[in-house]
Structure 1
């Protein structure tokens, strides 16, 4: 790490608030600043330098799940808990920058397989990206979890992201009444915040 990089990294952690994202050393490496860019969110920058997105202040990237192949591929998961609402959020993000991303059907098949989903996708364009979006209810032993997922394809390059998010009760033994509309809005906002660095 150069002197300038060290100074910049110190700016990130300087007198930062004690949020879960900033307290975790691995997660902190992805954050461009210790300042929230939007209430409750920091800016996340991938180590491939391929994209940025909003990252929740209570989120934590799993170092065990992290994979990277030069600047062509990057995959990781992260979790976020809302203790006061008994809610747990799980995310899986996979980035690629290679011609295979142009095979939309193959990538949707991968996403559907991961989400255990057999339905169709809604297609729309926004900010130079094409989104293929779907949502589903997932049940285990009568308990419900809600899945939201999308394939985000750059219209100008071979870059793409598969983004999966799940909301569920943190403790199914306790009451949990998530407002699905607000959670869907949250996840859509995060998905749409993906911006490719082309």
Structure 2
């Protein structure tokens, strides 16, 4: 009888150890893993972008959890894009941060380029709208969109030419705000009609991504 009890204890110990190892693997930061052990997607294969991705477990299909280096905002990051290290910048005391990201394949039917500029401190909504309108040289009409968190989102869009469209906007709460600028450029292989269809489809996807942005305060450990 004692022999069987010992055997049962050994089996339970092995099963428990496997469970712990699986949990540990899930909690490992992508930055601590080798590229060959990561999903074969640009967001995790690009060394600089990995510094922002918090887990190899997607938050939804095609998107990974993202945290800015200033620890000021989170969002769902698209697996097919990478952060441009040349244009990344953090201000003193993490009070500002600029992040740009885009497709790595310019052969996409619609090439997307995102620019996010974070500023600490609650903004005055009208002043931000005026500043963004002037920066785009357009009289923009902003529309508030319900988000998935306590951060408010306002966006406007306009057509620059037959192949290029822009989305301008900002996310904000009492902690800070993010100026948003996104260009959507159609590939030259698309005619005007196909370009318009693709832009409509991609604008919807862009808005869904922007709705995941959440301005937060995360204390340094």
TM-score greater than 0.5 by the shorter chain: yes
In 1, are the aligned partners of 2:110 and 2:199 still within 8 Å (CA)?
A: no
Which structure's residues are more often helix, by fraction?
Answer: 2
Match of residue 185 from structure 1: 204
Task: Please give the alpha-carbon distance, in whole angstroms, between the structure 2 residues aligned to 1:12 and 1:38.
Answer: 23
Q: Is the 8 A contact 1:123 1:133 kept in 2?
A: yes
Q: CA RMSD in A?
A: 2.3
Largest Rg, 1 or 2 = 2
Residue number in structure 1 paired with 2:68: 46
Unpaired runs of 5+ in structure 1?
Answer: 1-6
Deviations 1:103-133 (CA, angstroms, capped at 9, x unpaired): 2223223322333321221134543222221
1:175 Cα shift? 2.4
Partner of 1:113: 134
Structure 1 SS opposite 2:203: helix
Distance in 2 between residues matched to 1:77 and 1:68, nearest whole Å: 12
- Number of residues of Structure 1 aligned to a counterpart in Structure 2: 183
Q: Name the SS for the 1:39 alignment partner.
A: coil
Q: d(CA) in 1 for partners of 2:40 and 2:136?
A: 33
Residue 26 of structure 1: how far off its partner (Å): 0.9
Higher strand content, 1 or 2? 1
Stretches of structure 2 lacking an aligned partner (at least 5 in a row): 1-27
Contact 1:12 1:34 in 2 (8 A): no
Matches within 5 A, 1:38-117: 38-69=60-91, 70-80=93-103, 85-98=108-121, 101-117=122-138
> Residue 38 and residue 104 in structure 1: after superposition, are their counterparts in 2 closer, same or farther (change >3 A)?
same
